[in-house]
Amino acid sequence: MKNKRVIVGLSGGVDSSVAAYVLKEQGYEVIGLFMKNWHDDSVTISDECPWLEDSNDAMLVADKLGIPFQTVDLSVQYKERIVDYMFKEYENGRTPNPDVLCNREIKFDVFMDIALELGADYVATGHYCRKATIQKEGKDVHQLLAGVDTNKDQSYFLCQLSQQQLVKALFPIGELTKPEVRGIANSQDLITAEKKDSQGLCFIGKVRLPEFLQQQLKPKEGVIVEISDTLDAYHKPIPCFDSKTSELAFHSTKPEYSLSQGRVVGKHQGAHYFTKGQRKGLAVGGTKEPLFVIETDVNENVIYTGQGKNHPGLLRSVLFVNNEELHWVREDLALADGETMEVNARIRYRQPLEKGTLYKVDSGLYVEFENKQSAITEGQFVAWYIDEELIGSGVIS
């Protein structure tokens, strides 16, 4: 029998390098593919892992492992599907998550198509997560499970994958911890063994986001307003609800702010450069506790802030996901209108899982958390789990 062919997305980092090594040890026919997603070097911080150095490292790893290697240029698709989308979201005052999108749109779509054209049976990445397959009513159902290394678990970034994408996906290092991965890389003398983990947009390297945004979104000066935690809106009595849905709607609605409710404490260069929960970059001193962004108004170009991380403007217990932006990895577990489900959920990467309940209504899905969450941010993804399995996700509306 011919060995199954796997195409590994070699990024020039240690995780994908070891993923390729593990697959080769498991007897697969492995091919390394480097995705070039970006051409404009003016916005990358030049000495922080530009793609050239990464593709070179990926090539050296492939050479060391004795596997074929090639580079594919996906910058056109990346610009259309990720970058343009990001700008549009920022302009509309939402905060996108390019990494989640990159996995859904680039690595497990455009890249996967190229891999399948090259005769691949599977596509593999260096993500810290696992895949399992169970039988349900005679059919294969694929599960997306958290990585064994709880400190590094990256299942959240894959929360938008579908059954069709998972069937072809392999995650070879999901059973390993980061120190084990580095240990393997060292024992195999791979050039990436001690390489720092890359931060920033996936496959672009470190990008100065404000400058990146400024190329497209023109700066415009506006005011920074501080809202006191004694604002009436935070202390209005909770009405009696005639249904759970109206209660959820009430708690998921955020306060509307106006200039008259606070005091001007500074200026900024564009509300669209800021995101909820942000503390850095405000350049306003003299407050007892640090200021956090509690809301941005891109239409009026105003940033609303509050003192301290427990400011009531940051905290909310319910969020909503529209039907159009609701996604089930486990389609067989999707809720029908009126159904509920106890889950653990997170609203950002590396946040500890929080207890919550899903409520399906005709227009979408409410997620109600047991504890109030800080800086629930429109445009970001909420992902929900049962035990260690990620079963669905959605864009916070």
**Global pTM value:** 0.93
Give CA–CA dist 375/377, Å, rounded. Answer: 6
Predicted pLDDT at 307: 97
For residue 21, tell me if it sits in a domain.
Answer: yes
Quote the number of domains for the chain. Answer: 1
Predicted pLDDT at 208: 61
CA angle 354–359–364, rounded 5-degree value: 110
Give CA–CA dist 231/262, Å, rounded. Answer: 9
For residue 386, tell me if it sits in a domain.
Answer: no
DSSP lists the bridge partners of residue 135 as 140
Determine whether 240 is an active site residue. no
DSSP 288-302: SS-EEEEEEETTTTE
Selection from 354, 269, 328, 343 nearest residue 303 by Cα: 269
Determine whether 102 is an active site residue. yes
Give CA–CA dist 31/194, Å, rounded. Answer: 23
The three-class DSSP label of residue 81 is helix
For residue 59, tell me if it sits in a domain.
Answer: yes
For residue 12, tell me if it sits in a domain.
Answer: yes
Predicted pLDDT at 49: 47
Could you say which of 129, 159, 202, 240 is catalytic?
202
Selection from 328, 382, 358, 342 nearest residue 144 by Cα: 328
Predicted pLDDT at 53: 84
Tell me which residue has tokens 């997620």.
Answer: 367
List the pLDDT tens digit at each of the 397 positions of the chain.
Answer: 679 999 999 999 999 999 999 999 999 999 999 998 876 655 554 455 467 888 999 999 999 999 999 999 998 998 899 888 888 898 888 988 888 999 999 999 999 999 999 999 999 999 999 999 999 999 999 999 999 999 999 999 999 999 999 999 999 999 999 999 999 999 999 999 998 877 655 545 556 666 677 677 888 999 999 999 999 999 989 999 999 999 999 999 999 999 999 999 999 999 988 999 999 989 898 899 999 999 999 999 999 999 999 999 999 999 999 999 999 999 999 999 999 999 999 999 999 999 999 999 999 999 999 999 999 999 999 999 999 999 999 999 9
Give CA–CA dist 177/121, Å, rounded. Answer: 26
For residue 40, tell me if it sits in a domain.
Answer: yes
- Residue 57 identity: D
Give CA–CA dist 124/172, Å, rounded. Answer: 7
Write the CATH number for 153. Answer: 3.40.50.620
Contact indicator for 276, 297 with CB cutoff of 8 Å: no
Give CA–CA dist 268/271, Å, rounded. Answer: 7
Give CA–CA dist 151/148, Å, rounded. Answer: 9
For residue 42, tell me if it sits in a domain.
Answer: yes
Element spanning 20, H or E: helix 14-25
For residue 171, tell me if it sits in a domain.
Answer: yes
Contact indicator for 27, 6 with CB cutoff of 8 Å: no
Structural domain for 149, as ranges: 5-215
The three-class DSSP label of residue 297 is strand
- The answer for residues whose C-beta is within 8 angstroms of residue 144's C-beta and 6 or more apart is 129, 130, 131, 155, 158, 159, 161, 166, 329, 389, 390
